[in-house]
Amino acid sequence: SIAAYAEAMQVPNVLPPILLDVSQGWETWGGILPATLDLLVSINMMHISEFCCTQGLFKGAGVLLKPGGVLFTYG
């Protein structure tokens, strides 16, 4: 829905979302380099996935977010 919304609204400054598997190491997350993300969003994941996925999310966020970056979780 992110890609569809950005296209429909003709938003030029929103990159396409990256599908990633938090049960895998951050190195597999679409080629994202350390300390390059301003924001990482996780919606409706932690309460339905194995605990290792939550751990992977936090580990990956710790590496990939810029200083002052935000991990936003919901659900």
pLDDT tens, residue by residue, 5-48: 999 999 888 888 888 899 999 999 989 999 999 999 999 999 99
Angle at 71 (CA atoms; ends 70, 75), nearest 5 degrees: 140
pLDDT at 17: 84
Which residue, chain included where needed, has tokens 């569809």?
Answer: 4
**Which amino acid is residue 40, in one-letter code?**
L
How far apart, in whole angstroms, are the C-alpha atoms of residue 66 and residue 20? 18
Query: Token pair of 37, please?
Result: 């993300």
For residue 75, pLDDT beyond 90: no
pTM: predicted TM-score of the whole model, two decimal places: 0.79
Distances in Å between the alpha carbon of 74 and those of 9, 12, 27? 24, 26, 24
